[in-house]
């Protein structure tokens, strides 16, 4: 894997408090703030595969430094305190306004919390709640988002959270590599198909 790509996103993780990157970029990432390492452990290998396929097809590269990264609300659906609920609601409204202003096309989420947060921002129905989502349901939601991808709107694309590479055995590592390759391949296909409508290029 490219050490340059890893270094770029390691820098992002170091700087990530609430958000970083360029809102005008067509790709937005949503991370559970409890797991900022998802950028390194999940997105890095996926992005590497995407860049590889995109370059082979288009001879162009995505400007990974521009990708907008934002923390999701980690307590969504798990709090009863009215003041916290008010803050969550405010965050949802503010982000909804940003989506309308900047018109990103790919809203890529990591795990259940980030996906449910984005679903509420985009007012996706039904509102299932965080307890509904598991690896199987997220996988199905990913396939549905790819099959129904619409470049005229923001598309929520959920990724399953994976364990850190250092804590998994060889079989799990092989399964993770296969997962990364499969989702990257499908995301890359959509990027290639809609290349002229995406503000992502170097």
DSSP string for 4-40:
HHHHHHHHHHHH-SSEES-TTSSEEEEE-TT-TTHII
- The Cα 41–Cα 171 span in angstroms is 17
The region that residue 10 occupies, defined by phi over 0 for left and psi between -120 and 50 for alpha, beta otherwise, is alpha
* Greatest alpha-carbon span in the chain: 52
**Alpha helix ranges (H) inside the chain:** 3-15, 38, 44-58, 82-102, 111-121, 135-147, 170-193
- Name beta bridge partners: 31: 71
Tokens of 158: 């959920």
Look at residue 12 in the predicted model and tell me its pLDDT.
45
* Distance from the first to the final alpha carbon of the chain: 20
Query: Which pLDDT score, from 0 to 100, does residue 18 have?
Result: 79
pLDDT at 113: 87
Rounded to whole angstroms, the Cα distance separating 26 from 131 reads 29
Gap between the Cα atoms of 151 and 193, Å rounded: 10
Domains annotated for the chain, with CATH where assigned, are 3-197 (3.40.470)
DSSP 159: E
Task: Tell me the average confidence (pLDDT) per consecutive run of 10 residues in the chain, 202 residues long.
Answer: 48 60 97 91 96 98 96 64 73 93 97 90 74 83 96 96 50 70 97 98 96
Q: Are 19 and 71 in contact (CB under 8 A)?
A: yes
- Regarding beta strands 19-20 and 68-71, do their DSSP bridges make them parallel or antiparallel, or are they unpaired? antiparallel
pLDDT of residue 88: 79
């Amino acid at each position: 894997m490219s050490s340059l790509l890893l270094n770029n996103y390691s820098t992002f993780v170091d700087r990530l408090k609430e958000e970083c990157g360029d809102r005008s970029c067509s790709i937005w990432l949503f991370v559970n703030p409890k797991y900022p390492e998802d950028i390194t452990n999940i997105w890095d290998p996926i992005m590497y595969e995407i860049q590889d396929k995109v370059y082979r097809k288009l001879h162009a590269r995505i400007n990974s430094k521009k990708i907008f990264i934002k923390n999701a609300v980690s307590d969504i659906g798990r709090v009863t305190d009215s003041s916290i609920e008010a803050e969550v609601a405010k965050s949802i409204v503010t982000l909804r306004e940003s989506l309308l202003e900047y018109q990103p096309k790919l809203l890529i989420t990591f795990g259940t919390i980030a996906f449910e947060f984005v679903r509420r921002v985009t007012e996706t129905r039904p509102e299932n709640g965080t307890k509904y989502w598991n690896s199987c349901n997220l996988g199905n939601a990913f396939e549905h988002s790819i099959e129904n991808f619409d470049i005229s709107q923001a598309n929520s694309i959920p990724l399953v959270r994976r364990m850190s590479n250092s804590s998994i055995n060889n079989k799990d590592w092989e399964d993770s590599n296969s997962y990364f390759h499969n989702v990257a391949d499908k995301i890359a296909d959509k990027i290639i198909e809609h290349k002229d409508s995406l503000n992502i290029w170097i």
